[in-house]
Amino acid sequence: MNNLKEYSKKEIIELVKKNKITAKDFVDSGICPTCFDRENNNILYGDNKDKIIYEDEDIECFLVGNPRANGHTAISSKKHYKDMMAIDDLLCKKVFIFSKKMMNIIKEVYKTESVYLCTMCDGPMNHFHVQLIPRYSNEKRGSKNFVKPRLRYIEDKEKLDKLRKLIKE
């Protein structure tokens, strides 16, 4: 694959539609796949409206499509920032106060024993986000919770509605 920057946007979209390129090709070409996805109707990662918990002009909070635990949630900035070190203090404050609230809500709705937070955006083309990973009472405490095997996402509409309602309060 040549550098995607040599293609027009229309050509790139065609390549995505034909499954000829993946997120990795974007990264290798120095294009942020998250930004491209957002600017082009979620062509790369698909529409995640069914997983969105909260959204405003700065952030988006959603259930992760390949969760490490039931209730695994991500909070992403809308604008492109490489990682937490690149965000401004105002956004930093907003994301972390929001995360605190969301962690309490996840704990309540999913009856978890704890909720872990991590942010480890790394690599040349990342997009700042924070992950909230539940730990349940049958799971051991510790950092292994950050690398639990991925699960299949199964929608639980009742829980999702609760999350959406509580975060607005």
Task: State the residues that interact with Zn ion by CB under 5 A.
Answer: 32, 34-35, 80, 127
Q: Which of 42, 66, 56 is nearest to 91 (CA)?
A: 56
Contact at 8 Å (CB) between 45 and 57? no
- Rounded to a whole number of angstroms, the minimum distance from the CB of residue 128 to Zn ion is 8
Residue 28 or 139 having the CB closest to Zn ion: 28
Closest residue to Zn ion using C-beta atoms: 32
Give the integer Cα–Cα distance in Å for 26 and 1. Answer: 10
- Rounded to a whole number of angstroms, the minimum distance from the CB of residue 5 to Zn ion is 15
Residue 80 or 159 having the CB closest to Zn ion: 80
Give the integer Cα–Cα distance in Å for 39 and 108. Answer: 34
Helices and strands in the chain, H and E counts = 5, 5
- Rounded to a whole number of angstroms, the minimum distance from the CB of residue 157 to Zn ion is 30
Residue 41 or 104 having the CB closest to Zn ion: 41
